[in-house]
């Protein structure tokens, strides 16, 4: 715990608006204490959502690092050429990509169930 980012709840109460601004900076968090012991943390909603999303991905794909390493090997060896194509997956799972508007210069595809 960084003592600069740790403070008693009573002090945080007095500085809540300042703290609310500070935590908008990437990576900025505060630990609030009660009787000298950590009691709670304050961070931006964006950072909290990012952490929750990361945890969800880790829960769904517990071996993601191994999968990425495997794909990298397949790219080097050419084994990726045996992967199913988008068209094959669409047919197999009955989905069609829904093209959304460009966001930040990138066009994204979102699957939707076919009728």
Residue 94 tokens read as 């009955």
Whether CATH 1.20.1070 fits 3-43: no
Q: What is the 3-state secondary structure (H, E, C) of the chain?
A: CCHHHEEEHHHHHHCHHHHHHHCCCCCCCEEEEECCEEEEEECCHHHHHHHHHHHHHHHHCCCHHHHHHHHHHHHHHCHHHHCCCHHHHHHHHCEEEEECCCECCECCEEEEECC
Residue ranges covered by each domain of the chain: 3-43, 84-115
Q: What would the pLDDT profile of 88-110 be if each residue is shown by its tens digit?
A: 988 999 887 776 656 555 555 55
Q: What would the pLDDT profile of 55-73 be if each residue is shown by its tens digit?
A: 999 999 999 999 999 999 9
Full-prediction pTM beyond 0.85? no
């Amino acid at each position: 715990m960084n003592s600069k980012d740790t403070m008693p709840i009573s002090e945080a109460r007095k500085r809540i608006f300042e703290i609310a601004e500070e935590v908008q900076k990437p990576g900025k968090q505060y630990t609030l204490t009660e009787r000298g012991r950590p009691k709670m943390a304050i961070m931006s909603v964006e950072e909290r959502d990012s952490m929750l999303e990361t945890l969800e991905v880790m829960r769904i794909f517990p071996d993601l690092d191994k999968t990425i390493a495997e794909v990298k090997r397949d790219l080097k060896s050419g084994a990726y050429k045996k992967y199913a194509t988008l068209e094959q997956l669409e047919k197999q799972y009955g989905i069609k990509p829904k093209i959304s508007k460009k966001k930040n210069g990138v066009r994204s595809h979102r699957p939707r169930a076919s009728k």
